[in-house]
Copies of this chain bind each other. A is one copy, B any other.
């Protein structure tokens, strides 16, 4: 059976993963970062699948980043033993952190306040297990973290080191880089991220505190960093799949996007130039990440079943289980004649959000001699 025949036999909507594109994307970031002398710590919040993670992690089980304790627990059970939980720790979650560490997983937490540091130090002492911590640094005003020169960096470091936790270092994430466009702007963001992390690390060391780990990363900055002096590891997540947001800022092209949603034409409103499909926001997600980019891709860019982009066609609007395909505003293309029953593939705005709407990936194998595979995903917290 050809891949197209295999796709045609799937119920719709389904989530399609092109393994060849994924492997190419993973390899591309390794090729870029290896010469810069840093470890890659992939963020598994994008894939949320043990099978996919095997292809993304160095050696299949290498260091990982997660966004929930559920991810940490699932990947630890699958053999991943070095995990960074990269969302500020709530004190109520420390019993789960300790329970997971007790199974042999080296789980590190992040925080940015004296209150959290005291809670982690107290929990460490009570459990007789020094919980490793990265202090979160704010490099761009995006969300959490301390400014690199904030005296609280050192005072928090001291609470941790003196209190019985394991001060492991600093981490930052240049989330604002998603709004920058092109190689120069993204390289500048990467340098800003590096400088913030290294400055905070130097402050800790100058105060006589340990800082073995200097962790930075986002998919845009990871790809455009030119110098990572002083950095020990880089985190990135969406790079394994890519998406239209990343294409919109020049990190990839639509042909690199490994994820798509298979859908079926269920009707037309010819006077309005609409083609109705059975992928609504429940399948595509409500993410409109390209809305403020130079090219607004609606709820996704439309391809034929082989994955070839159909000129000018986007999912212009979405209800829960209805997608409305139309020509992008200003497009000079003409609406193709796609009969009821025609199958299409939609490239997503944001891979993390779209993948999360599904229970698993229908995998187009990198080796065309192999049959399609199914890789389950998980979710929850």
Contacts and interface: CB of A to CB of B under 8 A. Distances in A.
A87 interface: yes
Interface stretch (A56-64, A88-96, A179-187, A243-251): A88-96
B88 A175 contact: no
Nearest to A237: B320
A199 interface: no
A91 B268 contact: no
A90 B272 contact: no
Interface string A263-285: 01111110010101010011101
Interface in A317-370: 319-322, 324, 339-341, 352-353, 356-359
Nearest to A350: B286
B356 A379 contact: no
A256 interface: no
A71 to B, nearest CB: 10
A304 interface: no
Given A276-B144, A287-B286, A90 B340 contact: yes
Copy tally for this chain in the complex stands at 2
A122 interface: no
A304 B287 CA distance: 28
B144 A341 contact: no
A222 to B, nearest CB: 17
A12 B45 contact: no
A149 interface: no
B340 A278 contact: no
Contacts of A288: 286, 288
B13 A381 contact: yes
A67 interface: yes
Given A88-B266, A90-B12, A286-B287, A68 B321 contact: yes
Contacts of A90: 12, 264-266, 278, 340-341
Per DSSP, chain A at the interface is loop
B379 A359 contact: yes
Given A90-B341, A282-B356, A321-B45, A113 B268 contact: yes
Contact of A286 (B92, B264, B353): B353
Interface string A138-149: 100101100000
Contacts of A380: 358-359
Nearest to A317: B143
Contacts of A358: 380
B67 A320 contact: yes
A91 B340 contact: yes
A162 interface: no
Interface of A: 11-14, 45, 67-68, 87-93, 96, 111-113, 115-116, 119, 138, 141, 143-144, 175, 264-269, 272, 274, 276, 278, 281-283, 285-288, 319-322, 324, 339-341, 352-353, 356-359, 379-381
Given A67-B320, A88-B278, 8 more contacts: A12-B381, A45-B320, A87-B266, A90-B265, A92-B264, A281-B353, A283-B381, A359-B379
30 contacts: A12-B90, A12-B92, A14-B381, A67-B282, A68-B321, A88-B266, A88-B322, A89-B266, A90-B341, A91-B341, A111-B267, A112-B267, A113-B267, A113-B340, A115-B340, A115-B341, A116-B267, A143-B274, A143-B319, A143-B322, A143-B324, A144-B266, A144-B276, A144-B322, A175-B319, A281-B287, A286-B288, A286-B353, A356-B357, A359-B379
